[in-house]
Structure 1
Amino acid sequence: MKKRILVGLVAVSSVAALLTGCTGTSGDAAGGADAKPYGDCEVSGKKGEFTLQTLEEGKLTVKADLPSRGWYNGDTVDSIKDGVDYCILANIAYRSGIDEIDLQNSSFDGLIAGKAGDMDLTLNQITITDERAEIFDFSEPYFSSTAGVVVKKGADLDADSLRDAKIGVKQGTTEQIFVESTLKPSQQVSVFPGDPELDAAVAAGQIDAAVQDLSVALGSATASNGAIEVIGQYDSGQSMGVLLPKGSPNTAVVSEIIEQMKQDGTIDELSSKYLSVAYGVDPTEIPLWSIE
């Protein structure tokens, strides 16, 4: 099965765990004539065509689990200037006539639990589920995904033996639900607070495999310098959307902007520009495993 990878890869691994409590604003911190309101992102469409009701006038407040290779590129919040999600944010802001993005770090688990604090929205490769839709609003999907299987380089695992392996997942992800409810391995599933901890456990041999969103898995493998690799993927039938507070007046508008960016090719272009370089592999060549 070949998915729309260029408009369907999703969630990527964090490359550092040093960002708790940090906040950042797009452009140069000191402002001035050389400041870039949208970092290094190219924006398109008509500026101010849409209107968003934001927490602070002229500012888009965003929370995300940062950084995220290919999606939010950088080592700290302040250094993030591009990536797929960041540049989608830039285009949402631009098309809404907003010149400032206030990017703040939050744990993924805190985000999906509704404990991240006030924000206008987040793009963080978040899968749309019925349970999450009960407490949040979601835009129209902007990416679809599969679940990738990550192992230590050279590990002797395949689709048949995975169920008897010791599997790890990131807490609060749909991959945790997928593994526990659908894959149903014979050993107890190990749950980790973040991608760095999960990836480290794979590399150290503490677990036999990790199941992550495919793009997260590919990002993890790339960042590991060959220590871990992606050996398979499952079609989880999932899609990602922009997450907004429940009852947000901006949900329909953001959906309209996302649909416009899909139609005018912006999201495809961002995917091609940032994800292919970030992963260095064609995701369609990774074996698709089935659950029997």
Structure 2
Amino acid sequence: MPPALARRLAGAASLATVLLAASALAGCAPQDAAAPGATAASGASTGAADCAKGALATHKAGTLTIGTDKPAYAPWFSDDAPANGKGFESAVAYAVAERLGYPKEKVSWTVSPFDKAFAPGAKDFDFDLNQVSINDDRKKAVDFSSGYYDVHQAVVALKGSKAASAKSLADLRGVKLGAQVGSTSLAAVTGQIRPSVQPAVFDSNDLAKTALKNGQIDALVLDLPTAFYVTGAEVTDAQVIGQLQNTGGSPEQFGLVLDKGSALTGCVTGAVDSLRADGTLAKLEKQWLSDAVSAPVLG
């Protein structure tokens, strides 16, 4: 065989070997196994194989740990007992757990203060729900599921007070307003109402309601269902004077909170999405939040 031909044949054999090896490596490379529709609201999506029912990489093996604040307020919970399945958020939590393959006896609850649930740092829950609105600032520290409830903020005032006669945001700018620290209610006070009087900030809604009763504030800003519950059962000499308009392109939504980069984010989002798609969330909202009827919009 001529030397030049031998060299060409040897080079071709070497190239074939390289291409065969590259093909084998490509066959072994990890593939994207994300389940259709299982895209997280924040954080990475999780593959279907990672969402095996009842076998997730949970905080405690074999158990789904859910966090919420204490006290746990109605109408989101009932009797300050999240584990009883009563109240909108308790019912949602168990519905999500069921979709993930965890029956009620495989669910445990832990106390997680509202403003710490979405603070940076490791969590002692698999997910938390406590009327935590999804926003970009919070997404820097935690993951969120897709939204399970569309939120409107409302204003509560004592009957007969100056604030009780308010018909617009301008009417509220000269009154003393209050809201819970770190809440979207407080953001609505400062961002939408923009009062001329410094608003009062409280560590909990219980403290805020006490301040309203005692006349330390003229009005309190809360999410709409809580506002109706407060006026119907807790501060009965107060009334819901109206709700605030949604000023963004998308509605404010409550989401389930997860640790930043949690392996469960996609699975939990998939569960929430399925509950919305089949009408379960709407049924639970009608069952537990039916008292949150319409209120006039304060323009």
**Gapped regions of structure 2 (runs ≥ 5):** 1-51
Percent identical residues: 31
- Looking at structure 2, the residues matched to 114 and 222 of structure 1 have their Cα atoms a distance apart, in angstroms, of 36
The Cα of 1:82 is off from its aligned counterpart by: 1.7
Q: Which runs of 4+ in 1 moved over 6 A?
A: none
Query: Which of 48, 73, 77 is residue 78 of structure 2 equivalent to?
Result: 73
Q: Aligned residue for 1:147? A: 153
Could you give the per-residue CA deviations for residues 255-277 of structure 1, whole angstroms, max 9, x where no partner exists? 1111110111111111111112x
- Looking at structure 1, the residues matched to 57 and 73 of structure 2 have their Cα atoms a distance apart, in angstroms, of 27
Q: Is residue 266 of structure 1 aligned with residue 272 of structure 2?
A: no
Q: Which amino acid is 1:255 matched to? A: T
Q: Aligned residue for 2:61? A: 57
The Cα of 1:153 is off from its aligned counterpart by: 2.1
Greater C-alpha Rg: 2
Q: Aligned residue for 1:44? A: none
TM-score, scaled relative to structure 1: 0.76
Residues 50, 253 of structure 1: 8 Å contact kept: no
Q: Which amino acid is 1:238 matched to? A: E
Q: Aligned residue for 1:247? A: 261
Q: Which moved more, 1:127-136 or 1:69-78?
A: 69-78
Q: Is residue 123 of structure 1 aligned with residue 129 of structure 2?
A: yes
- Looking at structure 1, the residues matched to 162 and 184 of structure 2 have their Cα atoms a distance apart, in angstroms, of 26
The Cα of 1:216 is off from its aligned counterpart by: 2.1
The Cα of 1:115 is off from its aligned counterpart by: 6.4
Residues 63, 116 of structure 1: 8 Å contact kept: no
The Cα of 1:85 is off from its aligned counterpart by: 1.2
- Looking at structure 2, the residues matched to 192 and 116 of structure 1 have their Cα atoms a distance apart, in angstroms, of 25
Residues 123, 259 of structure 2: 8 Å contact kept: no
The Cα of 1:116 is off from its aligned counterpart by: 8.3
The Cα of 1:101 is off from its aligned counterpart by: 1.5
1:22-101 superposed matches below 5 A? 52-66=56-70, 67-76=72-81, 80-99=84-103, 100-101=106-107
Aligned alpha-carbon RMSD (Å): 1.9
Structure with bigger helix share is 2
Residues 230, 236 of structure 2: 8 Å contact kept: no
Could you give the per-residue CA deviations for residues 39-97 of structure 1, whole angstroms, max 9, x where no partner exists? xxxxxxxxx7575321112211111113121222113456x332211121112222222
Q: Please state whether the residue corresponding to 1:71 is helix, strand or coil.
A: coil
Q: 1:49 to 1:205 in 2, by over 3 A?
A: same
Residues 176, 198 of structure 2: 8 Å contact kept: yes
Q: Is residue 112 of structure 1 aligned with residue 122 of structure 2?
A: no
Q: Which amino acid is 1:74 matched to? A: D
Alignment length, in residue pairs? 237
- Looking at structure 1, the residues matched to 137 and 108 of structure 2 have their Cα atoms a distance apart, in angstroms, of 28
**Gapped regions of structure 1 (runs ≥ 5):** 1-47
The Cα of 1:166 is off from its aligned counterpart by: 0.5
Q: 1:106 to 1:116 in 2, by over 3 A?
A: farther
Q: Which amino acid is 1:73 matched to? A: S
Q: Is residue 289 of structure 1 aligned with residue 293 of structure 2?
A: no
TM-score, scaled relative to structure 2: 0.74
- Looking at structure 2, the residues matched to 135 and 64 of structure 1 have their Cα atoms a distance apart, in angstroms, of 17
